[in-house]
Chain A
Amino acid sequence: MGSKANRLALDKIFKKYMMEILLVIMAIILSVSAHGFFTPNNLLSIFRSMAINGVVAFGMTMVIIGGEIDLSVGSTIALSAVLTAFVSNKLAGVGVAPEFAVVIGIAVSLLTGALIGFINGFIRTRYKIPSFIITLAMLNVIYGVAAVLSNGFPITISSEWYSFIGAGQLFRGENFQGIPVPGVWLILVFIAVAIVMNRMRFGREVYAVGGNPESARLSGINVNKVKIVIMMVVQVLAAFAGIILSSQVMAGSPQFGKGYETDIISAVIIGGASLNGGIGKTRGTFIGIIFLGVILNGMTLLGVDDYVKYIVRGSIILFAVLVNTIQLQRKDNE
């Protein structure tokens, strides 16, 4: 009896920390096989490379827990990058100091993100159309707007300080490349979303709405408001990601962000969130982001072909969804 109980407890721990365990195993394998994997600089660069997707993934976690999805975030990354450049150049053109013009550009981009999210959420709640199809359509609309604004070419940004947002390094030393600023954004967004989802009333409402919208409504929760707000949050974060990305190259291009939604949604799913809503953890998404970052980085170090990476990416999503679904089904049968 005792050993059975032990095994059950072990089983439970394994299930709960499965992704962490897999992550550690993978990291060990890569440390041995991939030269240069286990160095501070490489690990920090994983952080930097995952920051853009990661920032959006935390917003996506809220959206998926709330029972929705947003496929248009990749296009918003492009639009926000283009818009920041476009607005700051236009303002600089009429004599505003570039350092200040870019601030207005950033503000306009973030507000545009909020507006897109509001439109997505409004159509979703007012007309009961699945967010999947709304955001699939918006993905094209937003990309189109970004392309029209920029005539299809990258627009450069000239404000010096702007590069700090995406390419800055903190505590840079002789043998240490410094802590990448985007990594700091990632951690800050993680903490903020974790607080909202675990400590705040709004987070509880998101879980309730995703778990059963009708029960939530009958319990006096404003379901529509919750859905609109989460759709806005993910878009604002996507706009922010666009700003980080454009700051890294000091330009905004409509080609930015293409296909990013795949990695973003994978990170959330790997983190254990259910596409049916109501289930998911902010911490899980954090693990999902690192997991994905480590795999992509490991493949690069091992010299894996870029096209093969697509196969791996896609397979990871399928695998993660399968594992989640099978676990849920098992629970149902118990």
Chain B
Amino acid sequence: MSILTIKDISKRFPGTLALDRVSTFFESGKVNALIGKNGSGKSTLVKIINGAQPATSGEIYLDDERMEFSHPDEAIGKGIATVYQELSLISGMSVAENLFLGRFPMKGKFIDWKKTYDMTEKLLKGMKIDIDAKEKIYNLSMWQCQMIEIAKAMSTDPKVILLDEPTSSLSKAETEILFDLIKELKKKDVIIIYITHRLQELWEVADTCTILRDGVLVGKVDMKDTSKKQILGMMFGEVEVQRRPEDLVHEDRVVLSVRNLTMGKKVKDVSFDLYKGEVLGIAGMLGSGRTELLRAIFGIDKYDEGEIIFDGKAVKRPTPQKMKEMGMGLTPEDRKHEGLIQIASIRDNLCVASLKRISNGLFIDKAREEEFVWNQVNRLQIKFGDIDAEVSSLSGGNQQKVVVGNWLNNQPRLMMFDEPSRGIDVNAKQQIFKIMWELSRQGISSIVVSSELEELLEVCHRIIVMRYGKITDEVIPEGTSIEGLYSICMGGE
């Protein structure tokens, strides 16, 4: 039996206090859930425990030993293993090679393969994982990879294992298998810390639950005598949701109809209508198919079945180019890799989608380009030193404004925003909301995907909820609380 004690841990980032004197403890032989909404500080706490970031103040003890690391490798040496959400396996290598990479059993100068495979088989058998040690990673499915990641973490004989949202990209059946594995881990004398977004999982797999909110420890409870309502209350506290301006109404005319859209396992039989001037939110947990739905509609990824009717016209085999010409725009989730050309200037990035509009025939009209660029700079209040500087020199919020401005320059009739507020400051966030409302007043519809539920409640006329690729519910912000919406996203009542 061992205990990981967190004592008065604080973490200060420029401008924010991410963790404020958090004290708690985690015991071995139990699954200790750690929850909190986005920005509650749970990821920061994980990073401090596993040495990825130093704490500003406070101490961590494993039993009686003080844990202090300058590098994650040191944490692993002390018996603290982490399984991250993003898989880190090398797909061209076998299971055994991945498990013992960098620490193969040796016979002189050569790798002792027989021993490697024997050790792998023993390890997998001990955890009741039925995967061949010689199987290549690329032949495994997501949940199998996730189990191998856990096996890899366990192969170092850790005293503490941190599981960072291991189920976020798994289906329900796959999640069950993973839970069996976690229950198996409980039999070993290891402290399991389980980070999740998915509330309903807690009663299935966790014994205790530690709740953080805005960097403060709200409480630690035993699962068996806690209700969902109590936990939701602790997660969200008393927040007053901002409401959108009163004058924001949409027309009854449908601009976009999506019918029975299906794309692999990610989007299943999705149908909805969007009205002229409406701001429609899509809520759902990570991996619920929100982003994939937007990508399918915009023609970024090919869908298998279904119909998209935009402005009364059925769209056949959409591509971003075709959808742009029809009057759609999309600001992608991954601003850095999909939204911007990092090495290009702010000026150039503001006109990538509207090259046709700033051209007379084949030639660029520099005067019109200038007008387009400065229009958006003023409208979105983009702050920069030099318009010809690389866009990567801007802050996150200003970069996001450039992404939005790039599309507004094309005068869309429908904008799709995928996680528009990720990694941006409050002011930039408010400005982007204002743009959505302004568009709405002009009769331009928006679809907003966001993990921040209070944002959706603030911005949207209507919110549809996705779960495992399907639309499971639809709510209007009036009369819906954050807890309520969260609960619906989780699939609860």
Contacts and interface: CB of A to CB of B under 8 A. Distances in A.
B363 A216 contact: no
Interface residues of A, number: 23
A331 B364 CA distance: 29
User: Among A204, A205, A221, which residue has the most Cβ atoms of chain B within 10 A?
Assistant: A204
A295 to B, nearest CB: 29
Given A199-B363, A201-B364, A215 B324 contact: no
Nearest to B351: A204
Contact of B337 (A200, A205, A215): A215
Interface string B232-258: 000000000000000000000000000
A240 interface: no
Given A212-B342, A278-B341, A218 B330 contact: yes
A219 interface: yes
Contacts of B344: 207-208, 211, 278
B267 interface: no
Given A201-B363, A205-B355, A208-B352, A219 B320 contact: yes
B456 to A, nearest CB: 23
A200 B362 contact: yes
B353 interface: yes
Contacts of B300: 217-218
A200 B344 CA distance: 17
A214 B333 CA distance: 13
B321 interface: yes
Interface string B322-341: 01110000101000011111
A219 B344 CA distance: 14
B352 A200 contact: no
Interface in A208-240: 208, 211-212, 214-222
B323 A207 contact: no
A278 B343 contact: yes
B324 A219 contact: yes
Contacts of A204: 348, 351-352, 355, 364
A220 B325 contact: yes
Contacts of A319: none
A43 interface: no
A122 B348 CA distance: 28
A110 B355 CA distance: 30
B348 A218 contact: no
Contacts of A321: none
A196 to B, nearest CB: 9
Contacts of A215: 337-341, 352
B356 interface: yes
Interface string A291-334: 00000000000000000000000000000000000000001000
A202 interface: yes
User: Among A201, A216, A220, which residue has the most Cβ atoms of chain B within 10 A?
Assistant: A220
A211 B342 CA distance: 7
A200 B340 contact: no
Contacts of A201: 355-356, 359, 362-364
A202 B362 contact: yes
Nearest to A209: B341
Interface in B293-334: 298, 300, 320-321, 323-325, 330, 332
Nearest to A220: B324
B28 interface: no
Contacts of A202: 362
A107 interface: no
B40 interface: no
B406 interface: yes
A213 B340 CA distance: 10
Interface string B213-237: 0000000000000000000000000
A220 B323 contact: yes
Contacts of A278: 341, 343-344
Contacts of A331: 390
A279 interface: yes
Contacts of A205: 355
A331 B343 CA distance: 10
A269 to B, nearest CB: 17
Nearest to B335: A215
Interface in B350-370: 351-353, 355-356, 359, 362-364
User: Among A201, A207, A217, which residue has the most Cβ atoms of chain B within 10 A?
Assistant: A201
A212 B340 contact: yes
A278 B340 CA distance: 12
Given A204-B355, A211-B344, A278-B344, A218 B363 contact: no
A212 B320 contact: no
A208 B349 CA distance: 9
A200 B410 CA distance: 18
Contacts of A279: 343
A278 B362 CA distance: 20
A219 B352 CA distance: 6
A331 B392 CA distance: 11
Nearest to A225: B321
Nearest to A278: B343
B342 A220 contact: no
Contacts of B325: 220
Nearest to B295: A218
Contacts of B355: 201, 204-205, 221
A11 to B, nearest CB: 16
Nearest to B344: A211
A205 B323 CA distance: 18
Contacts of B356: 201
User: Among A216, A219, A221, which residue has the most Cβ atoms of chain B within 10 A?
Assistant: A219
B372 to A, nearest CB: 13
Contacts of A200: 362-364
Contacts of A211: 341-344
Contacts of A222: 321
Nearest to A217: B320
A278 B341 CA distance: 9
Nearest to B337: A214
Contacts of B298: 218
Nearest to B322: A220
A278 B344 CA distance: 8
A221 B352 contact: yes
Given A201-B359, A212-B340, A279-B343, A220 B364 contact: no
6 contacts: A201-B355, A204-B352, A204-B355, A207-B341, A220-B324, A220-B410
Given A200-B364, A212-B340, 4 more contacts: A204-B364, A205-B355, A208-B344, A278-B344
The 5 closest A-B pairs by CB, nearest first: A220-B324, A211-B341, A219-B353, A219-B352, A212-B341
